[in-house]
């Protein structure tokens, strides 16, 4: 597994959220192989998406686990930042837009 980071194409008021954090699980087989992008359910525990990525990698498919906006390393680290985050979350459309743009950029990431 390799950690992958890249800037989000959408900028939010929370600096921690503007870097996309991913985990890349290569299958280890030579040549061109299929790949999937795995997203997590709305919970803190990333056990399930990591298990799915390991399954794909063991089956000959590369997997990229993309952590969605405001989860994991993208969460606010202090209370004042949390207040900014929740005021921005009022615009759910902006959060969903950022997530979609992050996944699209992850799909084109040359790993």
In the structure encoding, which two tokens stand for residue 40, read together?
Answer: 């997590």
Pairing, β 19-25 against β 2-7:
antiparallel
Rounded to two decimals, the pTM is 0.83
Residues 15, 101: Cα–Cα separation, whole Å:
17
Contact 16, 75 (CB under 8 A): yes
Give me the phi and psi of 26, to 5 degrees please: -75, 150
Taking only the tens of pLDDT, the chain with its 111 residues reads: 999 999 999 988 888 999 999 999 999 999 899 999 999 887 668 999 999 999 999 999 999 999 998 888 888 777 655 555 666 666 677 888 898 999 999 888 765
Pairing, β 62-66 against β 19-25:
antiparallel
Domains of the chain by residue range: 2-107
């Amino acid at each position: 597994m390799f950690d992958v980071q890249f800037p989000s194409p959408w900028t939010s008021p929370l600096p921690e959220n503007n870097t996309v954090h991913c985990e890349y699980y290569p299958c280890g087989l030579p040549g061109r192989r299929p790949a999937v992008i795995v997203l997590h359910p709305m919970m803190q525990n990333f056990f399930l998406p990591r298990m799915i990525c390991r399954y794909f990698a063991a089956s000959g498919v590369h997997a990229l686990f993309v952590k969605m906006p405001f989860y994991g390393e993208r969460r606010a680290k202090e209370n004042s930042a949390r207040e900014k985050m929740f005021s921005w979350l009022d615009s759910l459309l902006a959060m969903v837009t950022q997530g979609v743009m992050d996944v699209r950029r992850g799909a084109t990431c040359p790993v």
